[in-house]
Copies of this chain bind each other. A is one copy, B any other.
Amino acid sequence: MSLKHAILVMLENEPGTGYDLAQRFKSGIGHFWNAKHQQIYLELKKLHDDKWVEFEVEAQSEKPDKKVYHITRAGQKALKEWLRKPVKPPRVNDALLVKVFGGQPSDAPMLVAELDEHITRYRARLAEYGQMEQSYFGQDEVTRRRYRLPYLTLRRGIRYVRGTLEWLEEARALLADNGIPSQPLLAARSHSKRGKG
């Protein structure tokens, strides 16, 4: 299990509340590790039992009291130990691939439609990552050096999304070459707001 360790890494970066961590899991680290707030609160409790984190309560009126967690010495030690033992590569369970594998030729139109959705989504994500990379390059050299490792994870994201997109387009082409008039997708323009019903 490494949600524990993902949380430790985040708290090492900067102390925070459970809510706060949940937000952070929606960006940055969230691109390669997912967690919902319910699970985070449970893990924080376990981490506290292990004495790997502590918290201070910040009283608030009108809202539940904040618990601002920070990593302990013991937590840092545990993190270091975890870093030195190899992890196994993540298992992938990708339902889309199951569909493609199992689809009949007659399912092609359906699959093409679904691939298009994924293409749109991944194009948006690639644009987003591109932005992030630009803003990294906007930093001075010292800062860039400092954030070298997190930057590498962004590179991973970019490569992954790019590769995924290339495959989706390849798959689409091959499937559409079935008799479906190849109606090309709109170029990634993003931000086209649709009005509410």
Binding site for B on A (CB under 8 A): 2-3, 5-6, 8-10, 12-13, 28-29, 31-34, 79, 83-84, 86-103, 105, 107, 110-111, 114, 117-118, 121, 148-150, 152-153, 155-156, 159-160, 162-164, 166-167, 170-171, 174-175
A148 touches B166 (CB 8 A): no
Contact of A96 with B103 at beta-carbon distance under 8 Å, contacts A156-B167, A167-B156, A167-B159 already known: no
A121 touches B89 (CB 8 A): yes
B9 touches A101 (CB 8 A): yes
B29 touches A98 (CB 8 A): yes
- Cα of A74 to Cα of B93 in the assembled complex, Å: 25
Contact of A98 with B5 at beta-carbon distance under 8 Å, contacts A86-B114, A121-B89 already known: yes
User: From residue A154, how far is it (CB to closest CB) to chain B in Å?
Assistant: 10
B163 touches A101 (CB 8 A): no
Contact of A149 with B100 at beta-carbon distance under 8 Å, contacts A155-B167, A163-B160 already known: yes
B152 touches A100 (CB 8 A): yes
B29 touches A101 (CB 8 A): yes
B94 touches A32 (CB 8 A): yes
